[in-house]
């Protein structure tokens, strides 16, 4: 009888451990943009009630931040880029921004040197309030266009 009770106890203990492990594993969940309760909130964006305005403010502030840093601190490294570069980032559940990759306008990957620059810039993006889905913070991935400003020099015709 003791053996049977010990066996049942071990089975229950094993079952409890397995269910605890299943709870601890993070499951990647794909959430459609419109299903989010809240988009990430960038510093300086007011608490909009309209989700479209939330997203517009986030993208506008991030685009301005990235373009400013690129053109101010890394312009010489990007002399060969003459058009829009799409950069993919993730805002994690803690509100930190992580660089994922660069996609050129025709979806070809650009040199690692450029990726290193965007990784540095991502580290300087202010911490945000994360996106929320069903009352829980979730990661938020997005692509953003970064436009290199060209030097405006007038050609003088003789």
Give the model confidence (pLDDT) of 82-117 as tens digits.
Answer: 667 788 999 999 999 999 888 765 545 556 778 888
pLDDT for residue 60:
92
Report pTM.
Answer: 0.69
Outline where the chain has alpha helix (H).
2-24, 51-73, 112-124
DSSP letter for 139, please: -
Domain ranges of the chain: 28-147
User: Terminus-to-terminus CA distance in the chain, angstroms?
Assistant: 107
Q: Which two tokens stand for residue 121?
A: 């810039």
From residue 39, give the alpha-carbon distance in Å to each of 56, 132, 139, 145. 10, 7, 10, 19
Which regions of the chain are under pLDDT 50?
5-8, 10-11, 19-27, 107, 152-158
CA–CA separation, 19 and 21 (whole Å): 5
């Amino acid at each position: 009888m003791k053996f049977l009770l010990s066996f049942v106890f071990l089975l229950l203990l094993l079952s409890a451990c397995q269910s605890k492990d299943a709870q601890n594993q993070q499951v990647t969940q794909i959430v459609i943009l419109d299903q989010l309760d809240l988009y990430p909130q960038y510093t300086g964006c007011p608490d909009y009630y309209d989700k479209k305005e939330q997203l517009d403010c986030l993208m506008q502030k991030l685009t301005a931040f990235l373009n400013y840093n690129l053109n101010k601190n890394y312009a010489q490294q990007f002399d060969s880029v003459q058009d829009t570069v799409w950069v993919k980032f993730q805002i994690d559940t803690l509100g930190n921004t992580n660089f994922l990759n660069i996609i050129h306008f025709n979806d070809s990957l650009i040199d690692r040197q450029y990726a290193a620059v965007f990784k540095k810039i991502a580290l300087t993006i202010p911490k945000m309030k994360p996106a929320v889905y069903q009352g829980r913070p979730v990661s938020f991935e997005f692509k953003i266009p970064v436009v290199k400003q060209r030097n405006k020099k007038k050609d003088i015709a003789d």
